[in-house]
A and B are shown apart, each in its own frame.
Chain A
Amino acid sequence: MAEREPVIGIDLGTTNSVVATVQSGTPTVIRGRSGSNLLPSIIALAKSGKLLVGQIAKRQAITNPTDTVYASKRLIGRKFSAKQTQDAMKVLPYQVVTGEHDDIRIKMGPTDYSLPELSAMVLKELKLDAEAFFGRPVKKAVITVPAYFNDGQRQATKDAGRIAGLDVLRIINEPTAAALAYGFGKAVNGKIAVFDLGGGTFDVSVLEVGTGVFDVIGTGGDTYLGGEDFDNRIIEWLVFDFVKEHGIDLRGDRMALQRLKDGAEKAKIELSSSKETQLNLPFISTPVGGGSALHLQKTLTREKLEELCGDLGSRCVTICEQVLSDAKVKVTDLKEMILVGGMTRMPKIQELVKAYFRRDPCKGVHPDEVVALGAAVQADALTTEDSEVVLLDVTPQSLGVAIAGGYVRRLIPRNTTVPTSVTEVFTTSKDGQTTVKIMVLQGESEVAHQNELLGEFILTGLRQSKRGEIEVDVTFEINSEGIVSVAARDKETGQQQSIQVTASGGLTESELKQILEDQSDMMLEAKTGEELGKRKADLAALMKEVTELIPQLQKATAGSEFGSDAVTKANKALEVAKGAAAGQSLAKVNESLDTLTKTMTLFKGVLQRIS
């Protein structure tokens, strides 16, 4: 038999990327040709017109700030007009421009590059490193992304792989990969949490691990929370003081900005091991209209850094709480917790993590390499006969369709194990409606336009009829590759339409809102709509009744502590009910109905006893 084709795992990071493989049963990091395990995810166009990738691009960043691209992962798969993009642009020294479809392009020299193209350059570099290591061509790879990447960002990453000449076997989540690397070949049995604070993103995942099975039971995160944000806090602090002193905003000068970024990152790293550090940036600025050059010289203490970034740390903890409660897991149920990402070296983060998880994080996992190692384990598992490892991954975000009124009906909730499929019956929302539009949305908001539009299609030829009489089966399917497909079928005629979601829709939030409004005649109605309407009417009646009883009760129980307490509670319940009556959630309306019914019974009981 021929020697097995080599397969690799790639951690395509915000600041650094790593490539690994499994060699005779052991996951190993492939050292780059430059001798380092980490490849900076930096691309530059040198003055000579040559494209530079990695360490060599990083080294010339300060002298070539406008043509050096870093942290491009924060922009991949996003829209130019998205708020996050606009925010990010303010602190990026390179030029971000808009493409034809509101996609993002980055200008280096005369050329505009798309983000998949830029990421592909990094991937290609890693591919070359792997080929040098194996001494033959390498094609097959598993690439990791933050768990909270949406479909668009995943597709863009896959595209990058394709451009780099890789056959992307699978896109997997970074924290899952970390758990794979940690549990590979070990007799772990129990629940583990992975806390991954990297250069650009924060992810936390909970997995149940048992003899070779890695079952993701919950995941969550923030794609805009990472080391870069800590750096930016330091930059802001430096800039703010500099403005106060000299009246000059250094961020206007791209070269100064690049130097600030460099200095901030170094200071942050140093403060992980020492209590205090010096920031020394001589000749940072020359005042307009002449005068001697200005220098920036400051001392940053660990305490000050922690103060500047305090809210970032607490955001991480809030997300952990959310993920654990979604997964119905208590901190005490966890057997182990793993720290991933360079930022977890920060003492304050370790302290917060220890306090929240009430345990010391697992030692013996290299935070920078563990993700690539896990990707390699999965690549190996997919290509090995009777592999010992099987990964049960989940959908990180909910999927649903837009329904009448601008709301979302969720078909596949987040944290559902894939592959999966769900079918639900919908009806027409208008009399005489012969066409329905199926808009596939990804996200957690109840309001349609605050979600990401993955794709859309139209089912025509419905029989003219009263609203609610025509029934349409809508089926969502996610296969084990994570590809989403959606089908709609007219139950009467059996006529069917479907799409496979392959690329992101390329729409901004406001465009999506506009489309939803324009097409309100073609919307679907959830089958619960009728139930909801009736329940809401019930709730309104009950709210009125309770409101009317309050003055009576106040009079009857005048002054007593019990009376005022009951009234406060009733008012609170009314407040909640008001919210439920305005929303579209049947569960919430029902909940309020229950609470108010209880209040009502209590009121009546009290009034009877007194009168």
Chain B
Amino acid sequence: MVEENIDIDPERQREIEALEAKVGTTNHYEFLGVPSGAPLDEVRNAFHALSKKFHPDRYFGKNLGTFKGRLDKVFKRLIEANQTLSDPEKLKAYLESNPFVRAAVKAANPTTTPAAPAAKTSDELAREAERRARLSKHPYMAKAGKITELVSRAKSHISRGEYSHAFTQLNLATQFDPTNVEVKTMLVDVRKKNEDLRSTEDLKRGKDALERGDDEIAIAAFKSAATSNPKNVEAAVKAATLIDKRHNDPREASTFAQKAVDAMPNNAEYRVLLGRLLEAAGMKAMAKKHYEEAVRLDPDHPDVKKHAKRRWPF
């Protein structure tokens, strides 16, 4: 292939290519490089910083070759991400149609989820059923092959490890035919796989952030990892310790320690951690229970020993 002669420095070219690759594979938060559920300020700042690099005007009158199209693609996606995330209504619609992003936002921000859809009333459920019925009657939707097509697309996504795309396809398929057992089973499976994948990724992201010294991002990542996969003990423990250390919020920290204990009920160390956090949060009776259990599990553990002979004031 002939090397393109382009007026963009090679490093920027690589950045453009990297972002272009992310256009079809990341959600809006990821594309802007901000944590899921990031506040408006953070979204706007990220968008502005990226605009300074990737606005087509920065390359006005230059020889761009194939990079003209790439830049356009990248910048349009930046605009879309920014406009969706900075408009509460658009954000709400976006989160509603993208359950994974919603889960991530919720995990990163459990108290102030901006757009967690309220529990559906019976009225809404009825309307939804009616909408579904109407949808299934639609000539376009009724095409028999539609579901098969969606499922096969989903399968090819699965084979490539793109679980979130597979989920979208399957989700669509269930809307056409909510009774299809095959689709339902696949959906459950894919959701789990995707969450596990996310969880592993988030754990890594958290560790990286911790190394950089960016504790807040690390906390968000660990929380998200622990929430999307309840079996991710490492993430749960890290989240618990870090929240306790940085936010001084033993109550919230204890919920993550609880996850670790739930996943591995026979680990004395996690019991002690949970006990300590519960005690600090003032829930002494529950703390005592976990300490005692830890003593029973591993009486020789150094952390456990301290508590073995404690006398409880009640």
Assess whether A387 is in contact with B58, with CB atoms less than 8 Å apart. Answer: yes
Q: With a CB–CB cut-off of 8 A, which chain A residues contact B138? A: 530
Asked whether A480 lies within 8 Å of B56 as measured between CB atoms, the reply is: yes
Are the CB atoms of A382 and B48 closer together than 8 Å? Answer: no
Q: Is B51 an interface residue (CB 8 A)?
A: yes
The answer on a CB contact under 8 Å between B139 and A213 is no
Query: A212, A328, A416: which contacts B52 (Cβ < 8 A)?
Result: A212
Interface size on A, residues (CB 8 A): 29
By a CB distance below 8 angstroms, the chain B residues around A387 are: 58
Q: How many angstroms from the CA of A597 to the CA of B79 in the assembled complex?
A: 38
Q: Is A469 an interface residue (CB 8 A)?
A: yes
Q: Is A464 an interface residue (CB 8 A)?
A: no
Chain B residues within 8 Å of chain A by Cβ, number = 23
In this assembly, does B310 line the interface, its C-beta being within 8 Å of a C-beta of chain A? no
At the interface, yes or no: B55 with Cβ under 8 Å from chain A? yes
Across the interface, do B57 and A210 meet the contact criterion of CB distance under 8 Å?
no
Chain B, residue nearest A531 (CB): B134
- Complex interface: chain B residues within 8 A of A468 (CB): 139
Do B83 and A419 touch (CB < 8 A)?
A: no
Which chain A residues border B140 with CB–CB below 8 Å? 469, 471
Complex CA–CA separation, A417 to B60 (angstroms): 18
Q: Is B163 an interface residue (CB 8 A)?
A: no
A417 CB contact (under 8 Å) in B52, B58, B79: B79
Known: A210-B45, A382-B57, A469-B139. A416 touches B83 (CB 8 A): yes
Among B56-78, those with CB < 8 Å from A are 56-58, 60-61, 72, 75-76
Which residue of the partner chain, among B48, B76, B87, contacts A421 with CB atoms under 8 Å? B76
> A417: which B residues are within 8 A, CB to CB?
79, 82-83
In the complex, what residues of B have CB within 8 A of residue A363's CB? Answer: none
B72-A213 in contact (CB<8A): no
Q: Is the interface of A mostly helix, strand, loop or mixed?
A: mixed
Least CB distance, B243 to chain A, in whole angstroms: 31
- What CA separation (Å) do A471 and B45 show in the bound complex? 40
B residues 115-138 near A (Cβ < 8 Å) are 123, 134, 138
Q: Quick one: given A213-B48, A215-B48, A417-B83, are A392 and B139 in contact (CB under 8 Å)?
A: no
User: Which A residues are CB-close (under 8 A) to B191?
Assistant: none
> How many whole Å from A601's CB to the nearest CB in chain B?
9
Question: A420 within 8 Å of B by Cβ?
Answer: yes
| Residues of B contacting A534 in the complex (Cβ-Cβ under 8 angstroms) | 134
Q: Tell me, yes or no, whether A391 is within 8 Å of chain B by CB.
A: yes
Q: Is the CB of B51 within 8 A of A419?
A: no
Contact of B79 with A208 in the complex, beta carbons under 8 Å: no
B44 at the interface (CB under 8 A from A): yes
Are A390 and B58 touching (Cβ within 8 A)?
yes
B57, A391: Cβ atoms closer than 8 Å: yes
Nearest chain B residue, comparing its CB with the CB of A213: B48
Structural contact, B51 and A213, CB atoms closer than 8 A: yes
Q: Which residues of A contact B48 (CB under 8 A)?
A: 210-211, 213, 215
Contact of B55 among A328, A390, A416 (CB under 8 A): A390
Least Cβ–Cβ distance between B45 and chain A, in angstroms: 7
> Which chain B residues lie closer than 8 Å to A419 at the CB level?
56, 72, 75-76, 79
- Which of B57, B60, B75, B87 makes the CB contact (< 8 A) with A328? B87
Q: Which residue on A lies nearest to B75, using beta carbons? A: A419
CA distance A193 to B51 in the complex (A): 21
Q: Contacts of A391 on B, CB cut-off 8 Å? A: 57
A392-B51 in contact (CB<8A):
yes
A97 proximal to B (CB < 8 A): no
**Which residues of A are found within 8 Å of B61, using beta-carbon distances?**
382-383
- Rounded to whole Å, the gap between the CB of B81 and the closest CB of chain A is 11
What residues of chain B lie closer than 8 Å to A169, measured between beta carbons? 60
A479 touches B (CB below 8 Å): yes
Bound: A468/B137 CA distance, A: 14
Chain A positions 459 through 480: 1 when the CB is less than 8 Å from some CB of chain B, otherwise 0: 0000000001101000000011
Complex alpha-carbon distance, A471 and B76, angstroms: 25
Pair B83/A213 contact, Cβ less than 8 Å: no
Question: What is the chain B residue whose CB lies nearest that of A593?
Answer: B127
Does A487 count as interface, using CB distance less than 8 angstroms? no
- Tell me, in angstroms, the Cα distance from A480 to B51 when the chains sit together: 13
Does A381 sit at the interface, judged by CB under 8 A?
A: yes
Among the interface residues A212, A421, A480, which one has the most CB atoms of the partner chain B within 10 A? A480
B44 touches A208 (CB 8 A): yes
Report the bound CA distance from A212 to B87 in whole Å. 23
Which residues of the partner chain A approach B83 to less than 8 Å between Cβ atoms? 416-417
Is B79 a contact partner of A381 (Cβ separation < 8 A)? no
B76 proximity list for chain A (CB < 8 A): 419-421
> For window 37-59 of chain B, which residues contact chain A by CB distance below 8 Å?
44-45, 48, 51-52, 55-58
Structural contact, A480 and B57, CB atoms closer than 8 A: yes
| Shortest Cβ distance from residue B162 to the other chain A in the assembled complex, whole angstroms | 22
Within A222-278, which residues are at the interface with B (CB < 8 Å)? Answer: none
CA distance in complex: A211, B46 (Å)? 12
List the B residue with the shortest CB-CB distance to A215.
Answer: B48
B57: which A residues are within 8 A, CB to CB?
A: 381-382, 390-391, 480
Residue on A nearest B134 in the bound complex, by CB: A534
A262 to B56, CA, bound (A): 46
Bound Cα distance A124, B221 (Å): 60
> B135: nearest residue on chain A (CB-CB)?
A531
Min CB distance B187 to A, Å, is 26
Q: Write the A429-450 contact mask toward B (1 if CB under 8 angstroms, else 0).
A: 0000000000000000000000
Q: With A and B bound together, what is the CA distance between A466 and B2 in angstroms?
A: 50
Q: Are A479 and B60 in contact (CB under 8 A)?
A: no
User: Which residues of B are found within 8 Å of A480, using beta-carbon distances?
Assistant: 55-57
In the bound complex, how far is the Cα of B57 from the Cα of A290, in angstroms? Answer: 67
Q: Measured between C-beta atoms, what is the minimum distance from A548 to chain B in Å?
A: 21
B60 touches A420 (CB 8 A): no
Interface string of B66-107 (1 = CB under 8 A from A): 000000100110010011000100000000000000000000
Which residues on the B side are within 8 Å of A597 (C-beta)?
123
Cα(A382)–Cα(B139), bound, Å: 51
Q: How far is the CA of A220 from the CA of B61 in the complex (A)?
A: 30
Enumerate chain A residues within 8 angstroms of B44, measured Cβ to Cβ. 208, 210, 215
CB-CB under 8 A from A420, the residues of chain B are 76, 79
Interface flags for B218-246 (1: CB within 8 Å of A; 0: not) read: 00000000000000000000000000000
- How far does the Cβ of A596 sit from chain B's closest Cβ, in whole Å? 13
* Contact A479-B52, Cβ < 8 Å, known A210-B45, A382-B60, A390-B58: no
- Least distance between B50 CB and chain A CB atoms (Å): 10
The answer, among B45, B52, B139, for a CB contact under 8 Å with A390, is: B52
Bound: A125/B56 CA distance, A: 32
Q: Which residues of B contact A469 (CB under 8 A)?
A: 139-140
Chain B residues whose C-beta falls within 8 Å of the C-beta of A386 in the assembled complex: 58
Cα distance A393–B140 in the bound complex, in angstroms:
38
A contacts, CB < 8 Å to B: 169, 208, 210-213, 215, 328, 381-383, 386-387, 390-392, 416-417, 419-421, 468-469, 471, 479-480, 530, 534, 597
12 cross-chain CB contacts under 8 A: A213-B51, A381-B57, A382-B60, A382-B61, A386-B58, A390-B55, A392-B51, A417-B79, A419-B72, A419-B75, A471-B140, A480-B57
Q: For the complex of A and B, list the 6 residue pairs with the smallest distance between their C-beta atoms, beginning with the closest.
A: A213-B48, A382-B60, A480-B56, A417-B79, A390-B55, A210-B48
Q: A211-B48, A383-B60, A390-B51 are in contact. List 19 more A-B contacts (CB 8 A).
A: A210-B44, A212-B52, A213-B48, A213-B51, A213-B52, A215-B44, A382-B60, A386-B58, A390-B55, A391-B57, A392-B51, A416-B83, A419-B56, A419-B76, A420-B76, A420-B79, A469-B139, A480-B55, A480-B57
